[in-house]
């Protein structure tokens, strides 16, 4: 179970979207936000358009079928009107009401009159379909002997035919079906309409003649073909018994499949309808309408592939527009993501240089946007960081140099102490108290100066070391130099940098007291000026000096041109600032009396941890 969980986690991590670059993710986000609405909108538009086009096609086919139905209705109505006119023709009724012709002349006269009557209603094959009426007279055997006209014949000539025997006894008119003329030269296919004719003036005569009217089928077929929805469409005209009255002339495998399909389904069809169906493995749109007067059906069968020509053209346009939108979306996403990710890549590149320690390559960015604010802050940060590193480097170098100077100034403690101890015993043996005093002071001076290698000592130790130096100078000057040390008792445990008073005392003696006559006086005073600050004052009564000039000399940085006599005081200031920061150090102030007043300021600290904390605060 645990193994399956680990496997799924690996798969999810592999497929995680956030493994890719921000440019790739932004591009994907943009494309998703753009492409999804485009696809959805395209899908909706295409479906709605496809439905509209299909509805329009179906409506167009039904309208065409309505035109066919209207045209056939009109033709049937015309034939019915012609049949009625012929039926009610007074001349025809006179002939039908008269008896049989008495002689041959009367027969010829009757045939001539009847043919003339039918010729008045004959419609030749012009712009309208050809309509040809014929009349079969009852009880006229003498017509067999006369070949006067083809439009008039004896009833006996057709009584044995199948179509005659199927004529209903009572019917306004009857359609027999497809009829082909016997003339081998014409062989015209027609639809035959039949009407029984009675002698209206002699009701007792039940049946006088049979009127047939032939309608040219080729004209109907041409009319149907002109309304086909597509080239490969087929239109059928079926009678009320679902027999073909008109249909395709070519006998192909596809037309046979369509006719087989119609034979199976047509008996179930009523009124009108359009639907899609598979015929022979091919999708077709089947539409039909029923002619109310006759019960005939007009059926249109069209391949969907032909009908969808407009839809396919519209689909190509949709695909082209969709592809164009996708191309524009990809280009825009590339430009947009490059516009956003380019500053980020520039930032990452700059950070890689910074990682190697190169802090001198700021980001050059000219735009005025959020990135410019970030890059300006970043440039300021690396500049400040470079300055801090340089400052720390200089400080460390100064610290190492100061430690090296202190190390070089150290003398082997054991050798020095043993030598001074031997001199002290010799002075005691020779009863030389001044030598004993001076050697003891010198021993204490070096002991406090070395301080076991420590740089930080207590204030008490620093004052003791300064006093030992003053004792040595006092003995050396034969008590010409006097001193006074004032300090608050509670300040003695405070920590300070060692050897900060001795250089000031040395300068006061060599550059002040020794340059004037008379006794010299050095006053050392240690006080707390304000909470947290310790102040040293070293005042002499020597020749004096310009305080501003002295401050300028100790302000000179290490390595710059500097007076040799200011090295010690400048070293004091630098060591104080190295340990406690730039807020503290050494400076001179003007003094109204003789001599020079030197002032040292330090923070009041009692533990080394406080010194380290002060270093961190001032380095930040």
Query: What percent of the chain is modeled with pLDDT above 70?
Result: 78
Residue 470 confidence (pLDDT):
87
Q: Are residues 366 and 507 in the same domain?
A: no
Report yes or no on 535 lying in a domain.
Answer: yes
Report yes or no on 247 lying in a domain.
Answer: yes
Confidence of residue 285 (pLDDT cuts 50, 70, 90): confident
Question: What's 124's domain CATH number?
Answer: 3.30.450.20
User: Closest Cα partner for 177 from 124, 267, 238, 129?
Assistant: 238
Question: What's 507's domain CATH number?
Answer: 3.30.565.10
User: Closest Cα partner for 311 from 59, 54, 64, 63?
Assistant: 54
Task: With a cut of 60, say whether residue 16 has pLDDT above it.
Answer: no
Say if CB 34 and CB 27 are below 8 A apart: no
Residue 46 confidence (pLDDT):
74
243-284 pLDDT, tens digit per residue, is 777 777 677 777 778 878 877 777 777 766 777 788 877 888
Report yes or no on 351 lying in a domain.
Answer: no
Among the candidates 291, 307, 323, a domain finishes at 307
Q: Are residues 99 and 179 in the same domain?
A: yes
Residues contacting residue 195 through CB under 8 Å, at least 6 positions apart: 83, 87, 172, 173, 174, 210, 211, 212, 213
d(CA 313, CA 234) in angstroms, rounded, equals 23
134-168 pLDDT, tens digit per residue, is 888 888 888 777 777 778 888 888 888 877 877 77
Q: Contacts for 96-99 with beta carbons within 8 Å, 24 or more apart?
A: 96/197, 96/198, 96/199, 96/200, 96/201, 96/205, 96/208, 96/209, 97/199, 97/200, 97/201, 97/202, 97/205
Residue 620 confidence (pLDDT):
43
Q: Tell me the three state secondary structure of residue 558.
A: coil
Q: Are residues 404 and 464 in the same domain?
A: no
d(CA 382, CA 384) in angstroms, rounded, equals 5
Report yes or no on 435 lying in a domain.
Answer: no
d(CA 328, CA 323) in angstroms, rounded, equals 9
Task: With a cut of 60, say whether residue 618 has pLDDT above it.
Answer: no
Report yes or no on 441 lying in a domain.
Answer: no
Q: Give the chain's domain count.
A: 3
Compute the Cα dihedral for 334, 337, 339, 342 and give only its sign: negative
User: Closest Cα partner for 277 from 253, 258, 255?
Assistant: 258
d(CA 77, CA 71) in angstroms, rounded, equals 10
Half-sphere exposure of 14 (CA within 13 A, CB side): 6
The whole domain housing 510 covers: 454-619
Q: Are residues 301 and 398 in the same domain?
A: no
Q: Are residues 404 and 287 in the same domain?
A: no
d(CA 221, CA 235) in angstroms, rounded, equals 9
Q: Are residues 140 and 277 in the same domain?
A: yes
Cα-only R_g, the chain = 66
Residue 411 confidence (pLDDT):
44
Q: Are residues 294 and 370 in the same domain?
A: no
Say if CB 303 and CB 230 are below 8 A apart: yes
Is pTM beyond 0.95? Reply is no
Q: Are residues 562 and 483 in the same domain?
A: yes
Report yes or no on 318 lying in a domain.
Answer: no
224-233 pLDDT, tens digit per residue, is 777 777 777 8
Residue whose entry in the numeric block shows the structure tokens 């037309």: 255
Residue 186 confidence (pLDDT):
43
> Phi first, then psi: what are they for 417, rounded to 5°?
-65, -40
Q: Tell me the three state secondary structure of residue 124.
A: coil
Q: Contacts for 529-534 with beta carbons within 8 Å, 24 or more apart?
A: 529/601, 532/603, 532/604, 533/601, 533/602, 533/603, 533/604, 534/459, 534/491, 534/494, 534/496, 534/601, 534/602, 534/603, 534/604
Which tokens is 6 given? Answer: 């680990």
Q: With 0-12 CB in 10 A as exposed, 13-18 as middle and 19+ as buried, what is 391?
A: exposed
Say if CB 480 and CB 519 are below 8 A apart: yes
104-122 pLDDT, tens digit per residue, is 888 888 888 888 888 887 7
In the sheet where 597-603 sits, what is the strand order? Answer: 481-487, 520-530, 533-540, 597-603, 585-589
Report yes or no on 215 lying in a domain.
Answer: yes
Q: Are residues 363 and 298 in the same domain?
A: no
Task: With a cut of 80, say whether residue 467 has pLDDT above it.
Answer: yes
Q: Are residues 251 and 390 in the same domain?
A: no
pLDDT (average), residues 179-202: 67
Say if CB 383 and CB 362 are below 8 A apart: yes
Say if CB 21 and CB 327 are below 8 A apart: no
Confidence of residue 348 (pLDDT cuts 50, 70, 90): confident
Say if CB 46 and CB 365 are below 8 A apart: no
Q: Contacts for 36-42 with beta carbons within 8 Å, 24 or more apart?
A: 38/322, 38/325, 38/326, 38/329, 39/322, 42/318, 42/321, 42/322
Report yes or no on 566 lying in a domain.
Answer: yes
d(CA 416, CA 429) in angstroms, rounded, equals 20
Task: With a cut of 90, say whether residue 101 has pLDDT above it.
Answer: no
H helices within 266-308, ranges in order? 304-307
Q: Are residues 200 and 124 in the same domain?
A: yes
Per-residue b or e along 584-601, where b marks 16 or more CB atoms closer than 10 Å to that residue's CB: bbbebeebeeebbbbbbb
Is pLDDT larger for residue 463 or for residue 308? Answer: 463
Q: Are residues 99 and 232 in the same domain?
A: yes
Quick one: DSSP state of residue 160?
A: T
Among the candidates 269, 285, 307, a domain finishes at 307
Residues contacting residue 90 through CB under 8 Å, at least 6 positions apart: none
Among the candidates 269, 290, 307, a domain finishes at 307
């Amino acid at each position: 179970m645990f193994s399956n969980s680990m496997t799924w986690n690996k798969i999810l991590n592999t497929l995680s979207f956030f493994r890719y670059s921000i440019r790739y993710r932004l591009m994907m986000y943009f494309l998703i936000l753009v492409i999804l609405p485009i696809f959805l909108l395209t899908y909706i538009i295409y479906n709605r358009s496809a439905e509209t086009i299909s509805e329009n096609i179906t409506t167009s086919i039904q309208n065409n079928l309505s035109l066919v139905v209207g045209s056939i209705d009109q033709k049937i109505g015309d034939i019915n009107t012609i049949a009625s006119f012929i039926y009610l023709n007074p001349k025809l009724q006179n002939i039908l009401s008269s008896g049989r012709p008495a002689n041959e002349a009367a027969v010829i006269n009757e045939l001539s009159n009847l043919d003339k009557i039918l010729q008045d209603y004959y419609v030749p094959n012009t712009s309208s379909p050809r309509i040809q009426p014929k009349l079969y007279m009852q009880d006229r055997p003498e017509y067999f002997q006369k070949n006067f006209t083809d439009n008039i014949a004896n009833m006996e000539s057709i009584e044995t035919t199948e179509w005659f025997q199927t004529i209903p006894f009572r019917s306004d008119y009857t359609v027999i079906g497809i009829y082909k003329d016997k003339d081998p030269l014409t062989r015209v296919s027609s639809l035959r309409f039949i009407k029984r004719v009675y002698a209206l003036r002699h009701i007792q005569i039940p049946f006088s003649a049979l009127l047939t009217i032939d309608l040219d089928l080729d004209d109907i077929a041409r009319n149907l073909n002109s309304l086909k929805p597509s080239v490969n469409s087929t239109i059928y005209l079926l009678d009320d018994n679902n027999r073909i009255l008109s249909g395709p002339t070519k006998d192909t495998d596809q037309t046979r499949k369509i006719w087989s399909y119609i034979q199976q389904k047509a008996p179930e069809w009523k009124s009108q309808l359009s639907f899609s169906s598979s015929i022979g493995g091919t999708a077709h749109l089947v539409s039909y309408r029923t002619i109310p007067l006759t019960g005939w059906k007009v059926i249109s069968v069209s391949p969907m592939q032909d009908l969808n020509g407009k839809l396919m053209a519209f689909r190509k346009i949709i695909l082209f527009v969709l592809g164009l939108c996708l191309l524009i979306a990809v280009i825009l996403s590339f430009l947009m993501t490059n516009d956003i990710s380019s500053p980020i890549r520039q930032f990452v590149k700059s950070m890689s240089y910074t990682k190697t320690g190169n802090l001198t390559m700021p980001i050059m960015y000219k735009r005025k946007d959020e990135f410019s604010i970030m890059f300006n802050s970043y440039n300021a940060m690396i500049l400040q960081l470079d300055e801090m590193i340089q400052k720390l480097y200089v400080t460390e170098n100064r610290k190492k140099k100061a430690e090296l100077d202190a190390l070089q100034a150290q003398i082997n403690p054991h050798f020095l102490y043993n030598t001074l101890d031997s001199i002290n015993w010799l002075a005691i043996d020779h009863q030389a108290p001044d030598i004993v005093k001076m050697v003891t002071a010198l021993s204490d001076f070096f002991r406090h100066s070395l301080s076991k290698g420590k740089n930080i000592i207590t204030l008490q130790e620093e004052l003791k070391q300064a006093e030992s130096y003053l004792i040595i100078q006092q003995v050396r000057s034969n008590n010409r130099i006097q001193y006074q040390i004032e300090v608050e008792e509670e300040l003695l445990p405070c920590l300070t940098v060692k050897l900060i008073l001795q250089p000031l005392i040395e300068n006061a003696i060599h550059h002040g007291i020794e340059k004037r006559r008379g006794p010299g006086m050095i006053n050392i005073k240690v006080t707390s000026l304000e909470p947290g600050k310790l102040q040293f004052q070293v005042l002499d009564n020597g020749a004096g000096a310009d305080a501003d000039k002295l401050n300028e000399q100790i302000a000179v940085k290490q390595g710059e041109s500097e007076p040799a006599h200011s090295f010690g005081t400048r070293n004091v200031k630098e060591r104080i600032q190295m340990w406690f920061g730039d807020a503290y150090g050494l400076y001179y102030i003007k003094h109204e009396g003789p001599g020079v007043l030197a002032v040292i300021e330090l923070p009041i600290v009692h533990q080394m941890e406080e010194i380290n904390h002060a270093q961190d605060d001032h380095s930040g």
